[in-house]
Amino acid sequence: MNLLGLLVAVPLGFMVAALLLRGSGRWLILAAAPVMAGLALWLALLPPGTTLLVGNWDLPLGILLRADGVARLMVLAGALVIGAIGLHALVDPPGGKDGGAATAETFWPLLYLMWAGANAGFLTTDLFNLYVTLEMVSLAAVALAAMGSLAAALRYFMIAMLGSLAYLLGVALLVANYNTVDVTLLAQVARLDLATVMALGLMTAALLIKAALFPMHGWLPPAHAAAPAPASALLSAIAVKLGFVILLRLWFEAFPAITGSAALHVLGGLGAAAVIYGSIQAMRQDRLKPLVAYSTVAQVGYLFLAFPLVAGAVEPSSAWAGMTLHGVAHMLAKAAMFLAAGLMLKAAAGDRIADLGGLAQAMPLTVTAFGLAAVSLMGLPPSGGFTAKFLLLSAAIEQGAFLYAGVLVVGGLLAAVYLFRALSACFAPLAGAGPDTASRGPVTGGVKAVAPLALAGLAIVMGFAGTALVDVSAIEVPWATPTVIQPEVAP
Amino acid sequence: MELLAPEPVSAGHIYAVTGAILTALGFYAFIVRRHALRQLLAVNVVGAGVFLILGGLGRGPDAIDPMPQALVITGIVVAVALTAFGAAMIVRLAEAPRSPDQGKAGKPDA
């Protein structure tokens, strides 16, 4: 088993260990975070063309793990984000007031399950294996959402399960049509016929549900807003990204010849609508966590707005890099923002934005983390969000796609409106109650602010590492030369 | 085009057609019914239809292709596990002190 297998096997091992150790399983994150960060960094530095055929089964039947640019960036960012969320959950356990011990204990196996599922999903090119990883991540996500609100989690579960079955039906049609479900093989034999179009439509609809693209986003805000802060961070940062990455595999690797420009503009239009709708909804929220959750709906929109820009570009690398980097920047910034919001809400008098008054003095580090994450989400320079949006915007202008360019600009402005509203509330004087801060509960110490601050800082630092990340994202892009492994295609 | 082959309806088509009908029935029920348990059952009917289509695919005119059947077994295992998980959540929700359909915003403390 080489490195690619370890990236999946190690979190699964930690999951089993966390289940066996029960209460003391939380300390495992002290080993898991550095080990996984090291493995992910190693993956990012591997020479191009690194692959693993699981169990040495050859391709039409076997499962291929492959380290392309998207997988490298997503696995690395995922390792940093999940590791930081885990360390944060160690100092600030995610339990409610009711039965806090039980929920804190169940959090850890779910974290590792999501880690293993996400890594497997980012690395594999086998559409059926991707179904299994989707289920792993969805299962962990639903259980994490259930830590906050059972009703919201159940709604999420139902729509996710229906989506999974639609995806499976699509896989079934592809098996019948092509006798393989490997993306790299499908790319060589894909042809335009009814079965392929139906399969692609079913799988796309299913993945849009998982990625929560407008108008399939309905399950996201209640589930993400109600969960405890570390669970929300995992849901918003990791769970929605897997659906997006699988859509990349389908649309740009397996069937680039079939996805016409009209279909791409449907996805791009939905993305643009998501940016506007999610931002407006976020502006209308008067509670902090729903605001951050609706911001996820808006930010997912950018990922899909990029689809027609990548497909329409003469030289697609820069739009592709913009799309990938936006996913990474959103992972870092949104995880930081949810963790910071969790700390702020614990210190504040209530969960409304108006209740945040005085927090800037009470917990300056946490509010700084929230602010830095907001800078990246708005796309202000220098930050990862700015680099990504700049690449997308220049691609849009180059192609004369001024509608998309306009949405990119307006979306940034709307994000500034709703995020500055939350930030300015923190700087407002404490409402009522006079100048004493005793009534607002214990002020969190500096240690708890480290994880959100580190993640938000990384999102900013991404703005300085732009060209290096663009180079990584260009490894084994779909339109480059075919991959090294070229087994015979089954008849 | 490919799906509507000109040959007469063979035994293999029965699985696919029945599966399609089951999928449509389940999907209809999923949209119409609001109760969580009925929705879970509806999703399982959809699942049964999908598995029937997937399982029937391996049945060729002269040989049986084992690959779709290997896939369908995995799918069934996943569906069984998820159904148990969903049923457990429904039971939890029904046992919760608050009325089940009112907890949408999810405030754990009153």
Match 């732009």 to its residue by tokens: A466
Q: Which two tokens stand for residue A486?
A: 């070229």
**DSSP string for chain B:** --SS-SSPP-HHHHHHHHHHHHHHHHHHHHHH--SHHHHHHHHHHHHHHHHHHHHHHTB-SSSB-HHHHHHHHHHHHHHHHHHHHHHHHHHHHHHSSS-GGG-SS--S--
Is the CB of residue A151 less than 8 Å away from at least one CB of chain B? yes
Across the interface, do A161 and B36 touch by the CB < 8 Å criterion?
no
Distance of CA A390 to the CA centre of its chain: 20
Report the complex ipTM: 0.82
Chain B: nearest CA to A151, how far in angstroms?
A: 6
Q: Nearest chain B Cα to A289, which residue?
A: B105
| Of B89, B90, B108, Cβ closest to residue A98 | B108
> Which residues of chain B lie closer than 8 angstroms to A491, CB-CB?
none
| β-pair type (A51-53, A64-66) | antiparallel
Across the interface, do B46 and A158 touch by the CB < 8 Å criterion?
no
| Of B4, B50, B93, Cβ closest to residue A168 | B50
Across the interface, do A222 and B106 touch by the CB < 8 Å criterion?
yes
Confidence (pLDDT) at A432? 52
For residues A227 and B105, give the distance between their C-alpha atoms in angstroms, rounded to a whole number: 10
Confidence (pLDDT) at A45? 86
Chain B: nearest CA to A47, how far in angstroms?
A: 33
Q: Nearest chain A Cα to B74, which residue?
A: A132
**Whether pLDDT at B42 is above 90:** yes
Confidence (pLDDT) at A102? 58
**Whether pLDDT at B110 is above 80:** no
pLDDT band, very low/low/confident/very high, at B4 (cuts 50, 70, 90)? low
Across the interface, do A162 and B105 touch by the CB < 8 Å criterion?
no
Q: Which of A298, A272, A255 is nearest to A385 (CA)?
A: A298
For residues A346 and A342, give the distance between their C-alpha atoms in angstroms, rounded to a whole number: 6
| Of B4, B46, B54, Cβ closest to residue A162 | B46
For residues A153 and A228, give the distance between their C-alpha atoms in angstroms, rounded to a whole number: 13
Q: At A184, which amino acid appears? A: T
Chain A: nearest CA to B20, how far in angstroms?
A: 10
Q: How many residues does chain B have?
A: 110
CB-count burial class (<10 Å; 0-12, 13-18, 19+) for A272: buried
| Of B46, B74, B85, Cβ closest to residue A165 | B46
**Whether pLDDT at B55 is above 90:** no
Q: Nearest chain B Cα to A222, which residue?
A: B105
Whether A456 and A374 have beta carbons less than 8 Å apart is answered as no
Largest CA distance in chain B: 66
Q: Which two tokens stand for residue B48?
A: 């049964």
More confident residue, A433 or B14: B14
Q: Nearest chain A Cα to B87, which residue?
A: A154
> Which residues of chain A lie closer than 8 angstroms to B105, CB-CB?
149, 222, 225-226
Q: Nearest chain B Cα to A225, which residue?
A: B105
Q: How many residues does chain A have?
A: 491
For residues A329 and A306, give the distance between their C-alpha atoms in angstroms, rounded to a whole number: 15
Write the pLDDT tens digit of every residue in A226-279.
888 899 999 999 999 999 999 999 999 888 878 778 889 999 999 999 999 999
Confidence (pLDDT) at A484? 41
Chain B: nearest CA to A53, how far in angstroms?
A: 18
Confidence (pLDDT) at A148? 85
Confidence (pLDDT) at A121? 94
User: pTM to 2 decimals?
Assistant: 0.88
Question: Which stretches of chain A drop beneath a pLDDT of 70?
Answer: 1, 95-102, 430-446, 479-491
Is the CB of residue A197 less than 8 Å away from at least one CB of chain B? no
Q: Nearest chain A Cα to B58, which residue?
A: A176
For residues A405 and A275, give the distance between their C-alpha atoms in angstroms, rounded to a whole number: 12
Across the interface, do B57 and A175 touch by the CB < 8 Å criterion?
yes
> Which residues of chain B lie closer than 8 angstroms to A143, CB-CB?
85
pLDDT band, very low/low/confident/very high, at B43 (cuts 50, 70, 90)? very high
Confidence (pLDDT) at A26? 85
Whether A323 and A392 have beta carbons less than 8 Å apart is answered as yes
Confidence (pLDDT) at A389? 92
Chain A: nearest CA to B33, how far in angstroms?
A: 12
The fold of B11-96 is: Helix Hairpins (1.10.287)
Based on its alpha-carbon atoms, the radius of gyration of chain A, rounded to whole angstroms, reads 22
